[in-house]
Structure 1
Amino acid sequence: MKIATLIENKPGDREELYTEYGLSIYIEVDGNKILFDTGQSGDFIDNAKDLDIDLKDLDYVIISHGHYDHSGGFERLIKEINPSINLYLGNGFFNKKYNLMESGEYEYVGNPFEEQFLSENNIQVKYINEDILNITENLIVFTNFNRNQEFENTNQNMYLKEDEEYKKDMFLEEVSLGIKTNRGLVVIVGCSHAGIVNILDTIIERIDMNIYGVIGGTHLVEENDEKINKIIEYLKEKDIELIGACHCTGKQGETMLSQGLEGSFIDNNTGDILYIE
């Protein structure tokens, strides 16, 4: 299996590649080519070219949730590359999402495209309601995560707008991807707004397989050391051997994970490619 981080916040060894506050991950497994999230701008497309990754042959596109930094590049992908894809979205993906700023104003942070764009471009879309959806024998999409851990991210400044009223966004549409390998399950996450421990706990409850690795955003960017240490202890307890946390994990989160998880944490920045047997 090949996992390439096409874009995220920081550069890796390939400093000529574009970076941005966003996430897009390319995966090859069992002859299938998957794009998980599409970044903010579409610059991941240019990075893919520089990394000799052909996006024309994509089989599946999965977008983890309805924030611009994960879905913003989708329009450019369709307009420029036009791959023949199956698109997977969580139910509620097109809800209007806002961030409450310190000024008291609400800033729109949702999708830059409307649902109509999908029908206009004849895109086959599956809205996921199931707890577990098997795309192939070794590709599984998870959603409807339990919220048992009270210390996890409560998304205090994130809201949905419905009928001119704002209510807390619980990110019920958030999805994660599980990939079966000989070493265990590799879990790909977007921002983990449901809480990374909640997500992993839910997956462990639903599938009889150990989790070998976690790749993607863990949304620790505004969290305190106490919470991050609880997450580190959880990852140790579950004996997760590979942690490629990036994007919204934040500098402090990445530093603490790196120090607390010893050899399990890897730098996972723009242009980094990981191979797993």
Structure 2
Amino acid sequence: MKITVLCNDVAREGFFFEHGLSLLINDYTLFDTGTSDVALKNAHKLGVDLSKVKRIFISHGHYDHIGGLVYLLKEMSNVDLYVHEKALIPKYSGKRFAGVPYDWKEVERKARVHLVEGDMKVDGFNIINNVPTVEKNIDPNFLVEGRHDLFEDEINLYKDGFLITGCAHRGVDNILERASEIFDVRVIMGGFHLKDSSMERIEEVLKVFKQHDVKVIPMHCTGEKAIKFFKENLEDRCIIARAGDIVEV
């Protein structure tokens, strides 16, 4: 599995970064799109031919995962887009709008949109949507339709031993437990949403990582404190990836 990091909160020297996530998987599949045109600019720097992309998966409807889509689609054609219907409902972080930041019709003109509901298989990729809710682990500041957002739209991706998460709002340990019931997970990669978590919570997650003996690639909303802790405790089983990096495990 080759994963090219097009967008992350930190970057290699000479590359762009922002609060967002975008991963190119084996040259033909995109998982998330970042916030703005950062993923596009980094793709250009890396010499990535975006016209080869056949499918895009959107992990959930927050701007830092779906915002860059309209920029990337300008260099794509005949692409399939997989997104949960509830990702398109207006989302908020407190009073601040945090959802899709453009007219969705722009996307529908450029891509074939497939609405995801539940677990499904697409071209050798497994979408994992049916993750049980552990409400105490979900940030209460996130709102949808005037209520606590339980992230029913959140999808995670599994292929060839890799489990990829966007923000893991439903709990990265919870997602890993669910995926491991079905698949042989050897690597977990993406945003783990631990940036504001207590050390007790971070230690809980580390325990589950160790139980499942996975390699860990923490990114985006995992937070510096948690990333440092995982690296100290997992050593070479924790891989640090920045925008501009290519990960092959």
Q: TM-score, normalization: structure 1?
A: 0.86
| Partner of residue 103, structure 1 | none
Residue 57 of structure 1 contacts residue 84 of structure 1 at CA under 8 Å; is this kept in 2?
no
Matched, 1:172 2:152: yes
Residue pair 2:90, 2:144 contacting (<8 A) in 1 also:
yes
- Partner in structure 1 of residue 81 of structure 2: 87
CA contact (8 A) 1:94 1:114 kept: no
Aligned to 2:57: 62
1:107: Cα distance to partner? Answer: 0.5
Q: Which residue in the other structure is 1:74 paired with? A: 69
- Could you tell me how far 1:170 is from its partner in structure 2? 0.5
2:177 alignment counterpart: 201
Q: Contact 1:6–1:44 at 8 Å: present in 2 too?
A: yes
Look at both structures and tell me which one has the larger radius of gyration over its CA atoms: 1
Checking the alignment, whether the CA contact within 8 Å between 1:145 and 1:194 is kept in structure 2 is yes
Is 1:11 aligned to residue 29 of structure 2? no
- How far, CA to CA, are the matches of 1:125 and 1:41 in structure 2? 20
Please say if residues 55 and 83 of structure 1, whose CA atoms lie closer than 8 Å, have aligned partners that are also in contact. no
**Residue equivalent to 1:53:** 48
Name the residue aligned to 1:35.
Answer: 30
Hey, what's the Cα distance between the residues in 2 that align with 1:154 and 1:2?
Answer: 30
Q: Which residue of 2 aligns with 1:223?
A: 197
Ranges in structure 2 where 5+ consecutive residues have no aligned partner: none
* Alignment match, 1:144: 130
- Equivalent residue for 1:275? 248
Which ranges in structure 1 are unaligned for 5 or more consecutive residues? Answer: 101-105
Distance 1:122 1:271 in 2: 26
Equivalent residues of 1:244, 1:265 under 8 A apart: yes
What CA distance in whole angstroms lies between the structure 2 residues aligned with 1:6 and 1:118? 20
Superposed structure 1 runs of 4+ greater than 4 Å apart? none
Which residue does the alignment assign to 1:26?
24
Contact 2:70 2:107 in 1 (8 A): no
Matched residue, 2:106: 117
Secondary structure, counterpart of 2:65 in structure 1 = helix
Partner AA of 2:163 in structure 1: V
Partner of 1:129: 117
RMSD: 1.4
Q: What does residue 140 of structure 2 align with?
A: 156
Give TM-score, length-normalised by structure 2.
0.96
Structure whose residues are more often helix by fraction = 2
What are the Cα deviations for residues 228-247 of structure 1, in whole angstroms up to 9, with x where unaligned?
0010011001111x211110
In 2: Cα distance, 1:83 partner to 1:49 partner: 17
